[in-house]
């Protein structure tokens, strides 16, 4: 039976056996290692990693789930070993859970437009005999939501704060042809029951760092950033913090009341709203969120901690700027927005 050795970004080595009919994600779970994964069908890209030793076969997958097919990039949910494998993981050991995550029923409580092409969705947990009702999570984490009547799951970051009422708030971009998007646009209604699994993810603020922070959200990647800023506002945080919220078009920026409230609650908060293709009346920053990040660094006296959430292209652009400015990778925490 082939042996799989996973090497995490922080250098931990974790080994387990993989059966002939198993993919790497399933074999890891059988060994008590729950790797980041969502769709298990080769479309979300969450299980992306690099094989650095050994041979394997890959089942079919959606091409855009794997951005670097020529560099030994693999989707571990489609990867079956032919020999022992050594696999580099792009995340630290702490991202590998050692137990399954709870799934609970939640009811749609509100649906409302959030800028053009996005929806603000509020769910309320049904009371659970073991888990109660509270929504317990860390700002920056996400939940997997199952489309009613299917086994199809999609991951969305939480935009609100943990609470006793079981309230879960999401900002979800409607993607043409996306399965969850189609559900939201055509069938979803108040009172629908969904299965919510989580919280998941390690996109979290480093509470031990005294460095300035730069929080970058692209499109619906603003959701976990909003949750983090609400948390900082709750604690009347005084650390210098800069928000960059980027969108392609002006009307894709979500309503500004949240940002106005945050500015009032956090006197040390700087804000850059960046629009790539603005109308003639736009007076804010023109360019991508990565361009705005480069400009922010020009005037930042100290290397900041960087938190970025958005689509893959934004993450790559921000990483390129950070690399050029010699920001150590360990100062950058990122989360990818899932397309749906
Ligand atoms: S879990 Fe492998 S691509 Fe989604």
Ligand 1 lined by 43 (C-beta under 6 Å): yes
Distance 28 CA to ligand 1 centre (A): 14
Distance 224 CA to ligand 1 centre (A): 21
Could you tell me which of 6, 11, 17, 1 has the C-alpha nearest to residue 47? Answer: 6
Could you tell me which of 258, 270, 335 has the C-alpha nearest to residue 297? Answer: 270
| Residue 191 token pair | 């009172």
Mutate to test the pocket of ligand 1, among 77, 87, 154 (most ligand atoms within 8 A of CB): 77
The CATH homologous superfamily for domain 3-95 is: Beta-grasp domain (3.10.20.30)
pLDDT score at 63: 46
Could you tell me which of 315, 110, 119 has the C-alpha nearest to residue 192? Answer: 110
Q: pLDDT digit string (tens) for 244-268?
A: 999 999 988 876 778 899 999 999 9
Provide the 3-class DSSP secondary structure of residue 263. helix
Q: Give every residue of the chain whose pLDDT is below 70, as ranges.
A: 60-72, 255, 338-340
Distance 46 CA to ligand 1 centre (A): 5
Pairing of strands 193-200, 167-173: unpaired
pLDDT score at 110: 97
Domain 103-200 -> CATH class: mainly beta
Is pTM beyond 0.75? Reply is yes
The domain over range 213-336 is classified in CATH as 3.40.50.10490: no
Residue ranges of the domains in the chain? 3-95, 103-200, 213-336
Distance 76 CA to ligand 1 centre (A): 7
Query: Assign residue 101 a region: left if phi > 0, alpha if psi is -120 to 50, beta otherwise?
Result: beta
């Amino acid at each position: 039976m082939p042996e799989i050795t996973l090497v995490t970004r922080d250098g931990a080595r974790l080994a387990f056996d993989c059966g002939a009919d198993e993919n790497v994600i399933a074999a890891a779970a059988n060994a008590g290692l729950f790797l980041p994964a969502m769709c298990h069908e080769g479309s979300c890209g969450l299980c992306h990693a690099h094989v650095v030793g050994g041979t394997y076969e890959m089942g079919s997958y959606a091409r855009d789930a794997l951005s670097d097919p020529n560099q030994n990039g693999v989707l571990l949910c489609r990867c079956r070993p032919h020999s022992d494998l050594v696999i580099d993981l792009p995340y630290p050991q702490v991202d590998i859970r050692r137990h399954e995550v709870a799934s609970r029923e939640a009811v749609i409580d509100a649906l409302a437009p959030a800028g053009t092409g996005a929806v603000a969705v509020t769910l309320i947990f049904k009371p659970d005999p073991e888990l109660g009702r509270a929504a317990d999570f860390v700002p920056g984490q996400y939940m997997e939501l199952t489309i009613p009547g299917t086994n199809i799951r999609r991951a969305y970051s939480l935009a609100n704060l943990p609470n006793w009422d079981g309230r879960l708030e999401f900002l979800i971009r409607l993607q043409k042809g996306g399965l969850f998007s189609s559900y939201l646009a055509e069938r979803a209604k108040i009172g629908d029951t969904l299965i919510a699994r989580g919280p998941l993810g390690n996109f979290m603020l480093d509470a031990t760092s005294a460095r300035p922070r730069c929080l970058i959200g692209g499109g619906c990647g603003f959701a976990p950033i909003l949750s983090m800023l609400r948390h900082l506002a709750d604690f009347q945080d005084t650390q210098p913090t800069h928000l960059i919220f980027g969108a392609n078009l002006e009307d894709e920026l979500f309503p500004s009341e949240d940002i106005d409230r945050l500015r009032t609650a956090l006197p040390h908060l700087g804000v850059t709203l960046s629009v790539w293709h603005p109308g003639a009346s736009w007076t804010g920053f023109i360019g991508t969120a990565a361009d705005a990040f480069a400009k922010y660094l020009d005037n930042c006296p100290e290397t900041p901690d960087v938190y970025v959430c958005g689509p893959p292209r934004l993450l790559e652009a921000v990483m390129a700027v950070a690399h050029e400015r010699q920001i150590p990778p360990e100062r950058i925490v990122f989360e990818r927005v899932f397309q749906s």
